[in-house]
Amino acid sequence: MKWLRSFWDFWYDFVVGDDWRGAVTVVAALIVTAVLVHVAHVNAWWLLPLSIFAALGWSLRRATATRP
């Protein structure tokens, strides 16, 4: 179990890093983009960059708000 826990922690830290919200935002934006493109037939090229800019700002704001 300890080995599994270490394995999970390693990959979580490697892929997700310090702020899981950034990862969730990217994945959610990609899902919404795919839905817009394939279901609503909207070429939503702008959605992912805007989401990433917002995620970066949000993450920085959270990080600086909690650090003196």
**Taking the alpha carbons of 33, 38, 40, 43 in that order, is the dihedral positive or negative?**
positive
Q: Say which DSSP state 1 is in.
A: -
Q: Taking CB under 8 A as the rule, which mask of x and - marks residues 30-59 in contact with another protein?
A: x--xx--xx----xxx-xxx--xx-xxx-x
47 closest CA partner among 60, 37, 58: 37
Decide if residue 64 touches another protein (CB under 8 A): yes
Of residues 1, 4, 15, 40, which one binds another protein by CB under 8 A?
A: 15
List residues near another protein by CB under 8 A: 14-19, 22-23, 26-27, 30, 33-34, 37-38, 43-45, 47-49, 52-53, 55-57, 59-60, 63-64, 67
